[in-house]
Amino acid sequence: MLKQSYQLFINGEWVPSRSGQWFETVNPATEEVLAQIARGNKDDVHEAVAAARQAFTGPWSQLKPKERARLLFDLARAIEQQIEPLAHLETLDSGKPLPLARKEVLSTARYFEYYAGAADKFHGDSIPLGPDYVDFTLREPVGVTAHIVPWNMPLNMIGRSVAPALATGNTAVVKPAEQTPLTALYLADMMNDLGFPAGVYNVVTGYGEEAGGTLSTHPDIDSITFTGSVETGRRIMHAAATHIKPVVLELGGKSPNIIFADADLEIAVAEAAKGIYANSGQICSAGSRLLVEKRVKEEFVARLSQRAAQMRVGPGLDSPDMGPVVSQEQYERVLDYIQIGQQEGAALVTGGQRPAQFERGYFIAPTILDGVRPQTRVAQEEIFGPVLTVLTFEDEEEALHIANGVNYGLVAGIFTNNINHALRLATRIKAGQIYINEYFAGGEETPFGGYKQSGFGREKGLDALHNYTQVKNIAIRLR
């Protein structure tokens, strides 16, 4: 299943990169090289965009929406059937536990299924202008869509944005993260086998600046969906300005998870652990700032740290509770933040280093930093690792103030049995999604996206279909 080398996938074919250069993808659990990957550059991106354009104006536009839907339903079923090879590849490449990889594969299938269902149901309106006019809107595909994806949920992020793009009649050029390209490429073979026309889905692997940079400034793309860091998001926005292209930016987070003393603490402890340690904390919507009401803080942190210390950390293929982080770079970055937190005065309650049983691999024990002050770096900056920062509050107003006191606004968790606390905060917190009494509640059907520097545009749910369509109004004067 794992090949030694992977070429680019352009116009329905495997092709070498024009430069003939390669880069390596590494297994984060062993630090061993998994495969050689073609290093796409600007010539390859040009070719992929041209192929996507040809497919968009040609065969893909000839299909009826219900025919597109059938292909996407077929793809959803095929992904479910190939859950094992896909999950296996994802685990090898990203380090995530196999059961989590399986969940993400099934969720990817669900994206294709969900948006397949919308392909022939998302339509325009007629607008009443009185007896002298007939007026209606068309929803047209934007055209060639660019998708630049991160390494934390590689296949799932592709499903999230490519499925609505294809369902609405667009074609796609995907630039996977250089750390985790394998499942994007596996998907290409699957789509070929199912009979998707050549050029509908293209994958250019390569580095951010080189392949991603060319894609985001390309004059012949019609939209950019970018999921990644704020820093790169800013560059993408500048790049999009070159040719005035619309962008969806799904960026980082520093999401508060707010625990009131009246919550079911057993549930809240389990959910807080899930919120920060799932995927080793490498989830944009991770509950990385725990805000606990003062009178239960000691008890809560004691219970949570006991749970964290008991978590099984190990190679993803062994189905542990938590795998390694994705790369050497990320490993060093997370450990640096743990140091910074302590220098800023936080107390290291548990974790903080690679568990003693590992000599290699990018493993970091589940970590808790307690006594964190709201204005410190570890309370403000996204760490993107298994590091929970704990802050306390006295009342609802203070919780709100701390929750909103960062540049991010992706999601927030609230645990309470008081509906007034829950709904007052839910409406006043500046974030795109609020989870009440279950962290990560929601699904492929629920809109997701950021306030503030967490980005803009909404993915998931029917809202995502707007990213990939233009509205055209047609006004007819009856004479």
CA distance linking residue 258 with residue 423, whole number of Å: 13
Q: Do 218 and 146 touch, CB atoms closer than 8 A?
A: yes
| Chain centroid, CA 32 distance in Å | 25
The catalytic residues are 250, 284
C-beta closer to ligand NAD: residue 91 or 227: 227
Using CB under 6 A as the criterion, what x/- string covers residues 229-248 for binding ligand NAD? x--x--xx------------
The β-bridge partners of 459 are 448
**Residue 321 DSSP class:** S
Identify the burial level of 12 via C-beta atoms within 10 angstroms of its C-beta, where 0-12 means exposed, 13-18 middle and 19 or more buried: middle
Which segment (174-182, 296-304, 348-356, 422-430) binds ligand NAD by CB under 6 A? 174-182
Helix axes 182-194, 154-167, angle to 10 degrees: 40
Q: Among 95, 143, 213, 351, indicate the residue that binds ligand NAD (CB under 6 A).
A: 213
Q: How far is the CB of 239 from ligand NAD (least distance, A)?
A: 7
Dihedral over Cα of 14, 15, 17, 22: its sign: positive
Q: How far is the CB of 148 from ligand NAD (least distance, A)?
A: 5
Token pair 């299924």 is at which residue? Answer: 113
C-beta closer to ligand NAD: residue 206 or 315: 206
Q: Among 27, 41, 145, 152, indicate the residue that binds ligand NAD (CB under 6 A).
A: 152
Q: How far is the CB of 224 from ligand NAD (least distance, A)?
A: 9
Q: Does 149 bind ligand NAD (CB under 6 A)?
A: yes
Q: Does 442 bind ligand NAD (CB under 6 A)?
A: no
Neighbours of 422 (CB within 10 A): 19
Q: Does 370 bind ligand NAD (CB under 6 A)?
A: no
Q: Does 161 bind ligand NAD (CB under 6 A)?
A: no
Q: Among 142, 284, 313, 399, indicate the residue that binds ligand NAD (CB under 6 A).
A: 284
Contacts of 372 (CB under 8 A, 6+ apart): 289, 341, 344, 346, 378, 379, 389, 390, 391
The token pair that represents 65 in the structure block: 């929406």
Q: How far is the CB of 378 from ligand NAD (least distance, A)?
A: 15
Q: Does 208 bind ligand NAD (CB under 6 A)?
A: yes
Kindly list the residues in this chain that would bind ligand NAD in the complex (CB under 6 A).
148-152, 175, 177-178, 208-209, 212-213, 216, 227-229, 232, 235-236, 250-253, 284, 382, 384, 410, 455
